[in-house]
Amino acid sequence: MQTTPPNAQAAATLAKDTSAGTAPRPGLIVVLFALASALFGISLCINAGQANDLFWQLRTGHEIILNHAVPHSDTYSLRRFGEPWVVHEWLTFVLYWLVYQAGGFAGVWVLEASFVAAISILLFALVYRETERAPLTALALTTLIQMVAGVFYQPRPQLATYLFTIVVVGACLSARRASPKRIYLVLPVFILWANLHAGVLIGVGLLGAFAVCDFIEARWRTTLDTTDRALRSNSWPHFAAAAAVGMALTLVTPYSWHVYQNFGATISNTTMLNSVGEWLSPSFHEGFGKLLETFLFILLGAVCASRKQKSLAEIVLYVGLGHEALLSSRNVPLLAFIAGPLIASHVQDAVRRLIGQGNDPEFWNSDSLFARRLPLIPAVAVIAALGCIAAARASAVMKRVDSIQSQGLEHVARVCYAVASFPEGAVRFVKSHTFPQDLRMYNIYGDGGFLIWSLPEHKVFIDGRADVYFGKSLEEVTKMKELPYKWPSMLDRYGVNIIISDANESQSRLFLNSPQWAAVYLDRATLDEKDTPLDNSIVLLRKNAFSNDFITKCRKDCPAFQDARLSEYSDYEALH
C-alpha cells in the first residue's frame, strides 16, 4: 500500500487549511508576538502631543449624561452660539467622560491604550493570516504599520475608526476567499461605529470599492483563471448589497442624514484644509514624512517583486489612499491600516524571493526566520529587542518633556496630553479674581477646547471644532494669525474685551504693543527667554473707564508684575 510522504502530507494539510479559510491553533510564539505588538502599540501612546480637543469632548460627554440628550446646537462659542452642531462622536465623548470621572486623565489614557491594544492585536492577527502565517514577517510589517500610524494614537474618536477599519478589511478578505455571504456578519459593527465616529463612511467606502473592483475583474479581466473569475462574480453582488445596507445603518444615530452633510462640509472647506495642521500634507523634511515615504516604497517594492496575482482592489486602494495620505497627514493611518494588510501577502512573497526560497515547496515546514516554524531563540530575541525599543522610546519622550520624575499614571497621562501647555495659570487667575461673566473673550485656536472645559462661564472665540466655524468665522481666525493691519476692528466687531493668549504667539506682540489693551496677567516665565515652560500665557483687558481700577488691582495681584526684571523695559506701558 502506498503512503503519502510526510512533507507532501503536511503541505496538503496546510493547503486545505488555507483554502478552508481556517488557521491552525496559534503556537506560543504567535501569542507572544501578538502581545509584543500590543505592548509596542501602547508604548506609542506615550507621546507629548497636545490633546487640544480632549477637554471640550469631556465637557460634551458630561453634558450628554447630565441632560440625557445629545446637543444639536452650539452653546460654547461666542460667535456661533445657537448654530447647528452635529456631534457625530457623541458616544465616544460619553465613554471619555465616564472613564475620566472614574480615574481622571489616567482613566482616559487607559481607555486610549485599550483601544490601541485591540488595534494592535487585530492588526497582527490579520497580517499574520495574510502572510500565510509567517510570524516574523507579520510582526515586522505590523510594527512598521504602527510606527506610521502611531503619531495619531491620541485620545480621539478616530481610534474607533482605526479599529473597525481593520475589522472590515479582514472581513472583506475573508469573504472573498471563502463564502461571500460572510461579509454580512460585519454589518452590526456599523451601528456602533456610526455613533463613535463619522469615519464609519470609510467602512462603507471599502465595501463599495471591493464591489466595484470585483465586478470589473469578473467582467473584463482576461488574465483571471476560471476559479478566480467565479469567485469575483460571486462576491461583488454581496459586497454591493453589504455596502448599501451599511450606508443605511450609518443613519442609526441621533443625527441621521446630517452626518453626511457634516462630512461633506468638512472635506470641502479649503480654509480648514490649508490651516489646520493635521489636514496639511506631510513634510518630507521631518521624520514622520520620511517614515511615510519608506512605507510607501516598501509596499510598492513588494507589489513589484511579488509573483502572486494582484487584485484590482489592492492596487486601487493602495494608489487612492496613498494619494490621500500625501494630501493630508490625517489620512496616513488609513493608508497604513488598509493598504498594509492588503499587500501583506505580496510582502511575504517578496521576502521569500529575496532570500532565495521563492520556489521551494518545503519552505513553510523549515526552521527559517521567515517561515511558519520560527525557532524559539530568535523569536525571544526579537521580542526582547522590540520591548527595548518601545521602552527606550517612551522613556526618551518622558525625559524630554517632563522635569518631574514621577511614576504615577495620572502624571504620565498629563504629560502625554501636554496639559501643562494650556493656560492653567491664566484660568486660575481669572477665576480667583472673579472676572465679570459678561466679558467677551478672544483666544487662540489651540486653547479653545481647554477654555471650554475650564472656563465654562465664558464663551470661546474659536476652538478645535472646526466644523462649527466653517465660513467667515474660521477665515477671520486665519487672518488674525497672518497679523492683519486692521485686527482691532475684527475684535471690536464682536465686542471682545478680554484676550487669553500665549506669549509665544506672533499675534501676542500686537496685543502687548496696542494702547487699547493692558496686560493683567503674565506667567512668570514669560520674562525668561532661556527657560520658557510650556504654559506661557498672558491675559489682557481692554482699557476703558470701567476697567482701569480692575486692571490696576489685577496687576498688583499678579506675581510676574512684581518681578524686578520688568524695570529693564524702558516703555513699560507700551509692552504691558
pLDDT digits (tens, 9 = 90+) for 366-383: 666 776 777 788 888 999
Nearest Cα residue to 235 out of 216, 211, 219: 211
Residues 443 and 463 in one domain: yes
Q: Note whether residue 149 is domain-resident.
A: no
Taking only the tens place, the pLDDT of each residue in 443-465 is: 988 899 999 999 999 999 999 88
Average pLDDT over residues 420-427: 89
**pLDDT-based confidence at residue 20 (cuts at 50, 70, 90):** very low
Residue with cell 476652538: 463
- The confidence score (pLDDT) of residue 43 equals 94
Confidence of residue 261 (pLDDT cuts 50, 70, 90): confident
pLDDT of residue 5: 45
pLDDT of 544: 85
Q: Which triple of cell numbers denotes residue 270? A: 479649503
How many distinct structural domains can be found in the chain? Answer: 4
Q: Across the beta sheet with 517-522, what order do the strands follow?
A: 441-443, 498-502, 537-542, 517-522
Q: Which domain holds residue 318?
A: 283-367
Position 407 scores a pLDDT of 66
Residues 357 and 395 in one domain: no
338 close to 346: Cβ distance less than 8 angstroms: no
In sequence order, the 6+-apart residues with CB closer than 8 A to the CB of 79 are 461, 469, 473, 494
Same domain, 439 and 564: yes
pLDDT value at 202 more than 90: yes
pLDDT at 404 over 60: no
pLDDT of the residue at 490: 86
Distance CA 182, CA 157 (A): 27
* Per-residue pLDDT at 402 exceeds 70: no
- Helices 158-177 & 226-249, crossing angle to 10 degrees? 150
Same domain, residue pair 295 and 356: yes
The domain boundary residue, chosen from 326, 344, 367: 367
Name the average pLDDT for the chain: 84
- CA dist list (Å): 287 to 66, 402, 497: 43, 22, 42
Q: Where a domain ends, among 254, 275, 296?
A: 275
Give the mean model confidence (pLDDT) for residues 250-266.
82
User: Do 429 and 567 lie in a common domain?
Assistant: yes
Residue 24 pLDDT exceeds 60:
no
Lowest mean pLDDT among 201-205, 309-313, 546-550: 546-550
Same domain, 408 and 428: no
**pLDDT grade for 25, boundaries at 50, 70 and 90:** very low
> Is the pLDDT confidence value at 420 over 90?
no
The answer to whether residue 10 scores a pLDDT higher than 60 is no
188 found inside a domain: yes
**For position 534, what pLDDT does the model report?**
53
Cell numbers 463612511 label which residue? Answer: 201
- Residue with more model confidence, 19 or 528: 528
Domain identity same for 429 and 564: yes
**492 and 351 housed in the same domain:** no
DSSP class of residue 20? H
List pLDDT tens digits, range 293-344: 999 999 999 999 998 888 999 999 999 999 999 999 999 999 999 999 999 9
What pLDDT, on a 0 to 100 scale, did the predictor assign at position 15?
A: 42
* Residue 405 pLDDT class (50, 70, 90 cuts): low
Count of CB atoms situated within 10 Å of the CB of 423 = 26
Confidence of residue 346 (pLDDT cuts 50, 70, 90): very high
Q: Are residues 199 and 120 in the same domain?
A: no
Kindly report the CATH number assigned to the domain that includes residue 443.
3.40.190
Q: Considering the domain boundaries, does residue 26 fall inside one? A: no
What is d(CA 294, CA 272) in angstroms, rounded to the nearest whole number?
28
Summarize the confidence of residues 259-263 as an average pLDDT.
Answer: 76
Confidence at residue 359, expressed as pLDDT on a 0 to 100 scale: 63
- Rounded to whole angstroms, how far apart are CA atoms 353 and 368? 14
Q: What percent of the chain has pLDDT over 70?
A: 85
The mean per-residue pLDDT over the stretch 187-207 comes to 95
Residue 549 domain-assigned?
yes
For position 240, what pLDDT does the model report? 96
**Looking at the domain assignment, is residue 245 inside a domain?**
yes
- What is the four-CA torsion angle of 98, 103, 106, 110, rounded to 10 degrees? -60
The per-residue pLDDT for 9 is 44
pLDDT computed for residue 273 by the predictor = 66
Q: What is the mean pLDDT of residues 483-494?
A: 83
Farthest-apart Cα atoms in the chain, separation: 110
According to the model, what pLDDT value does residue 563 have?
Answer: 61
Residue 472 in any domain: the answer is yes
Residues 436 and 535 in one domain: yes
477, 381: one domain: no
Q: Tell me if 307 is assigned to some domain.
A: yes
Residues 242 and 267 in one domain: yes
Which pLDDT tens digit goes with each residue over 97-109? Answer: 999 999 999 999 9
Tell me whether residue 34 is in a domain. no
The lowest-confidence range among 56-60, 84-88, 144-148, 367-371 is: 367-371
